[in-house]
Amino acid sequence: MPKRSGKPKLPKSLQVARRGAVVILTLARPEKRNALNDATVLGLEAFFETLPTGVKAVVLNAQGNHFSAGLDLSELKVLSTEEGIAHSRVWHRIFDKIEFGRVPVVTVMQGAVVGGGLELAAATHIRVAERSAYYALPEGSRGIFVGGGGSVRLPRLIGVSRIMDLMLTGRTYSAEEGQALGLSHYLVEPGEGLAKAIEIARRIATNSPTTNFAIMQALPRIAEQDRASGYVMESMMAAIAQGNEEAKTRIKAFLEKKAAKVTRDS
Ligand code: 1HE
């Protein structure tokens, strides 16, 4: 397979910084509260399609006080029904490329994580919330509906009933509520999200690529299968992972007392 160049032409609203095996991708449109316009969403696709081969995890964060105000409403106002369907399908295609992409993505969330911003965060694998984060789906009050896969992903995270409440009433969840419900995996103080996300991404980058592949590609699909099919897929994935040389080396290192034990997080 040809080596990836890792140098896509990205819009101004996306910035990239490499830190060894981790790449930090930053939403950089704070003057519009990182509202997701077409250029940004297509830029996400270009970025994830051309990740250099040595990259093993991505951190997604955003400039300013808000992670993302969601869909750029100034672009939506001119779309016909047919164009609206096509627009939503583009988001589906691109967010799927993130969720079922090559490497795990750790997102840092602060301030507003709303509408399409929440849909984007939900397409990533680990979410770190700063205490300023809050979550909303204001589509109801704008007369629209989620279009970035939110009705598929978000109920799987926190249940249809809670998403109905968010959308019908326009209520928000605080960072603490989001943490308790599972919208975030980690809750940190303001300004600490990026460091935490990089620490997590570096840890993920040390896993065997086969295990990370199984976790990203097999685990969510098994969750959507019936039990019997899930067991078959799990046993095949387990056999593939443990059959490879990297697993043998890692297990041997543990048995020879050369690998770290499992200890409590401090
Ligand atoms: C925007 C957007 C946007 C801000 N599209 N331009 N999303 C929403 O309904 C959320 C709308 N945004 C807000 O409620 C607020 O902007 C925030 C709570 C996120 C931030 O408030 P604040 O006071 O810090 O900023 P602001 O003054 O409201 O906005 C700053 C600028 O960003 C301003 O533009 P300016 O030219 O007057 O400076 C805003 O117009 C602009 N801005 N949010 C366009 N969303 C695939 S379907 C997904 C469907 C959805 O995502 S629906 C949810 C849409």
- Does residue 165 sit in the same domain as residue 229? no
- Domain limit, last residue, from 170, 189, 205: 205
Give the pLDDT score at 7.
Answer: 77
157 shares a domain with 215? no
Q: Are residues 168 and 197 in the same domain?
A: yes
Each residue's pLDDT tens digit, 37-79: 999 999 999 999 999 999 999 999 999 999 999 999 998 877 8
In CATH, what number is assigned to the domain containing residue 225? 1.10.12.10
* Residue 109, ligand 1, Cβ within 6 A: no
With b meaning 16 or more CB within 10 Å and e meaning fewer, what string describes 62-80? bbbebbbbbbbeeeeeeee
For residue 12, the model assigns a pLDDT of 98
Do 111 and 192 fall into the same domain? yes
Distance 68 CA to ligand 1 centre (A): 8
CA of 143 to the centre of ligand 1 (A): 15
Catalytic residue among 119, 130, 176, 234: 119
**One-letter-per-residue 3-state SS of the chain:** CCCCCCCCCCCCCEEEEEECCEEEEEECCHHHCCCECHHHHHHHHHHHHCCCCCCCEEEEEECCCCCECCECHHHHCCCCHHHHHHHHHHHHHHHHHHHCCCCCEEEEECCEEECHHHHHHHCCCEEEEECCCEEECCHHHHCCCCCCCHHHHHHHHHCHHHHHHHHHHCCCEEHHHHHHHCCCCEEECCCCHHHHHHHHHHHHHCCCHHHHHHHHHHHHHHHCCCHHHHHHHHHHHHHHHHHCHHHHHHHHHHHCCCCCCCCCCC
Q: In the prediction, which pLDDT does 191 show? A: 98
Please indicate, yes or no, if residue 266 is contained in any of the structural domains: no
Is the CB–ligand 1 distance for residue 112 below 6 Å? Answer: yes
Best of 33, 44, 87, 137 for a ligand 1 pocket test (most atoms within 8 Å of beta carbon) = 33
pLDDT at 37: 98
Dist. CA 242 → ligand 1 center (Å): 48
Catalytic residue status for 119: yes
Domain edge (last residue) among 205, 221, 241 = 205
Residue 91 lies in a domain: yes
Is residue 121 a part of any domain in this protein?
A: yes
Specify whether 21 is located in the same domain as 129. Answer: yes
Residues 138 and 217 in one domain: no
Query: 93 and 224, same structural domain?
Result: no
Active-site option among 130, 139, 245, 256? 139
Report the nearest atom of ligand 1 relative to the CA of 72.
5
Q: Is 167 inside any structural domain? A: yes
Q: What domain range includes position 199? A: 14-205
Q: Are residues 176 and 54 in the same domain?
A: yes
Answer yes or no: do 124 and 62 share one domain: yes
pLDDT of residue 4: 59
Nearest Cα to 113, choosing from 53, 189, 184?
A: 184
What pLDDT was estimated at residue 5? 56
The confidence score (pLDDT) of residue 125 equals: 98
Residues 91 and 163 in one domain: yes
Q: From atom 40 of ligand 1, which residue's Cα is the shortest distance away?
A: 32
**Residue 147 Cβ < 6 Å to ligand 1:** yes
Taking the model in full, what pTM does it have?
Answer: 0.96
CATH code of the domain in which 186 resides: 3.90.226.10
Residue with CA closest to ligand 1 atom 44: 72
User: Is the C-beta atom of 32 inside 6 A of ligand 1?
Assistant: yes
Considering its fold, how many domains does the chain have in total? Answer: 2
Q: Is residue 199 part of a domain?
A: yes
The C-alpha atoms of residue 199 and residue 196 are separated, in whole angstroms, by 5
Give which of 152, 156, 121 is closest to 136, Cα–Cα: 121
The answer to whether position 261 is within a domain reads: no
Cβ of 137 less than 6 Å from ligand 1: no
Residue 7 lies in a domain: no
Check whether residue 214 and residue 150 sit in a common domain: no
Ligand 1 binding pocket includes 69 (Cβ within 6 Å) = yes
Which segments in the chain show pLDDT lower than 70? 1-6
The verdict on residue 130 lying in a domain is yes
Q: Measured from the CB, is residue 149 less than 6 Å from ligand 1?
A: no
**Judgement on whether residues 100 and 172 belong to the same structural domain of the protein:** yes
pLDDT of res. 77: 76
Residue nearest to atom 19 of ligand 1 (CA): 69
Query: Token pair for residue 160?
Result: 């249809």
Q: Measured in whole angstroms, how far is the alpha carbon of residue 122 from the centre of its chain?
A: 6
